């Protein structure tokens, strides 16, 4: 936050603040009350600061619906970081829709939004006897890493 303070003291008219690993209350407590602030991807508005959010739960729900339309019942979720608001919302939306649609989420694989985490997940999945019919990665980096690992192991996607 030192750079934010430097901007504020330099006569900044407002701040758009996105810090998905820190709760909104803590973010705002560090800012002077005189600077208009908009939170980006925060769970809710805090105090007088409005929030702009992405419907992560809705998007993840649509992924589960797409899997169900394709007839996939056994799926895996490569999750984002546990302390990340976007990742939590994606997991919530995906799991709720999967339950509603009668799907089985074989497991949640912990990830951190990196390609390396996706590669680790893909390597794990390639080595399993019973592979899922579909994989929902919480972001593109992990999806790419997973696809690379599956391809390297000779697993055709889609299979």
Q: Tell me the pLDDT tens digit for each residue of 5-43.
A: 666 566 677 878 776 666 656 666 666 667 788 888 776
Q: What pairs with residue 16 in β-bridges?
A: 38
| Cα distances (Å, whole numbers) of residue 147 to 17, 70, 113, 125, 144 | 33, 19, 14, 11, 5
- d(CA 16, CA 75) in angstroms, rounded, equals 37
Please state, as a whole number, how many other Cβ atoms lie within 10 Å of the Cβ of residue 149: 22
Tokens of 58: 């809705």
Q: What is the rounded end-to-end Cα distance, in angstroms, of the chain?
A: 46
CATH class of the domain at 56-152: alpha beta
Q: What is the pLDDT of residues 50-85, one digit of tens each?
A: 888 889 999 999 999 999 999 999 999 999 998 888
| Cα distances (Å, whole numbers) of residue 113 to 78, 118, 127, 131, 146 | 9, 8, 22, 22, 11
Identify the DSSP state of 22.
S
Domain boundaries, given as residue ranges, for the chain: 2-52, 56-152
Task: Give the pTM.
Answer: 0.80
Distance of alpha carbon 58 from the chain centroid: 12
Q: Does residue 144 surpass a pLDDT of 80?
A: yes
Q: Does residue 146 surpass a pLDDT of 90?
A: yes
């Amino acid at each position: 936050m030192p750079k934010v303070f430097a901007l504020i003291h330099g006569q900044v008219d407002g701040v758009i603040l996105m810090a998905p690993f820190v709760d909104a209350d803590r973010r705002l407590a560090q800012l002077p009350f005189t600077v208009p602030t908009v939170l980006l991807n925060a769970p809710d508005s805090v105090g007088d600061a409005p929030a702009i959010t992405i419907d992560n739960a809705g998007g993840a729900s649509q992924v589960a619906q797409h899997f169900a339309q394709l007839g996939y019942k056994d799926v895996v979720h490569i999750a984002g970081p546990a302390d990340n608001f976007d990742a939590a919302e994606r997991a919530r939306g995906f799991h709720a829709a999967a339950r509603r649609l009668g799907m089985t989420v074989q497991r949640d694989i912990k990830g951190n939004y990196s390609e390396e985490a996706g590669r680790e997940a893909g390597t794990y999945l390639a080595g399993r006897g019973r592979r899922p019919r579909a994989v929902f990665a919480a972001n593109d980096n992990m999806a790419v890493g997973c696809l690379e690992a599956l391809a390297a192991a000779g697993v055709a996607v889609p299979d």
